[in-house]
Amino acid sequence: MNILHVDMDAFFASVEIARDPSLRGKPVIIAGLGPRGVVAAASYEAREYGVHSALPTAVARRRCPRGVFMKPTASYGAVSRSVMAIFREYTPHVQPISVDEAFLDVAGARRMIGTPAQIARTIRARVRDEHGITCTVGIASTKFLAKLASEHAKPDGLGIVPRETELRFLHPLPIRSVWGIGEKTAQKLGRLGMRTVGDIARLSVDRLAASVGTASAEHLHALARNIDPRPVRPERVEKSISNETTFGHDAPDASIWGPTLLELSRKVASRARTRGLAGRGVTVKLRFGDFKTITRSRMLPAPTDVGQEIHAAARELADEAATAPVRLIGVRLDHLVEYAAVGRQVALDEPDRGWREIEAAIDDAAARFGKDSIRSGGRLRRSES
């Protein structure tokens, strides 16, 4: 029972409230404020109105007309780095899985520092004292169960699942608690009479495979029995994935650089999928005819490896920033995490994940028939004109 999952509570909103205490107790909503903006974070007061991350900002305004809407700021990264540094004072085995959460393996710290529970309490107190924000910690023997423990203890809590009670805690939970089970998979399992994690554990792998496929069946059956051998891996050396291109002639407007931006977004997404990564930060780089270079960045509500989602953010940033003909354009995906560690946030069978399947098929076609076998419609039209 040495794995900790530390999750900052309503992180973006909490940072803003710590900076401006007059916001305390108010429904604070961090979101893109443009017509296609989405919510990045919401305080717990805002959540009472049904506001949550990934919700369109327009819908959030209707649900919470008295909400305090704020654009994301650059301060979150600095606070995140400082919080992660606190974690590393207690163990070198820290695996960030997003800007506001991480896994820690504290097995080596028991003798010198104390029990996992003592370490968790100390970390929570330091985060509160040094940054004015709260975090929730889950403690268990596996990453999967530690994350569930923190989810059930939020906000500002400590959830501990002793070894002898692991399955008693896990098996009554609904099947959507298992990483990788989204809406469609839940429907398939529901047709088999599956309602709880325990139901999955009691079903044979063969019968499960007939509904969801062999690989998924083995994965789900193992997690339902709390079999999760993945170790806590320190942060990857790879910090970002990017791609850029320089035009032969300055692109005067979006009709020219727009299709290129889409293609670059898809290439970045493809490289992320190849590496088993997803990213939450999207940056657009623009260089104009006078060689002035600017970058504009945005944090997504959840990590992604889908080109369409990267492009949606990149296009909005580029539309705002491209005030002159463009000589060079680039896209970067950062705040990378392991795709497998993100859990249900990027479950493959969620309704809006269809683009991932399409793009994965394009990856396969490119691998089999060459990279030039697939091109965007905009590129194709220009090459044939």
Would you name the residues annotated as active-site residues? 101
Check if the beta carbon of residue 43 is closer than 8 Å to that of residue 12: no
| Joined tokens for residue 265 | 């977004």
CA proximity to 136, closest of 235, 44, 243:
44
Q: Give the chain's count of helices (H) and strands (E).
A: 16, 12
Tell the burial category of 271 from Cβ atoms under 10 Å away from its Cβ (0-12, 13-18, 19+): middle
Check if the beta carbon of residue 280 is closer than 8 Å to that of residue 302: yes
Q: How far is CA 261 from CA 172, 210, 227, 243, 383, in A?
A: 47, 41, 42, 10, 16
CA proximity to 234, closest of 104, 119, 340:
104
CA proximity to 330, closest of 268, 294, 284:
284
Q: Name residue, tokens 């009479």.
A: 193
CA distance 120 to 98: 19
Q: Tell me the chain's radius of gyration from C-alpha atoms.
A: 22
Distance of CA 114 to the CA centre of its chain: 31
CA proximity to 307, closest of 353, 265, 361, 259:
265
End-to-end CA gap in the chain: 64
CA distance 25 to 175: 34
Check if the beta carbon of residue 285 is closer than 8 Å to that of residue 335: no
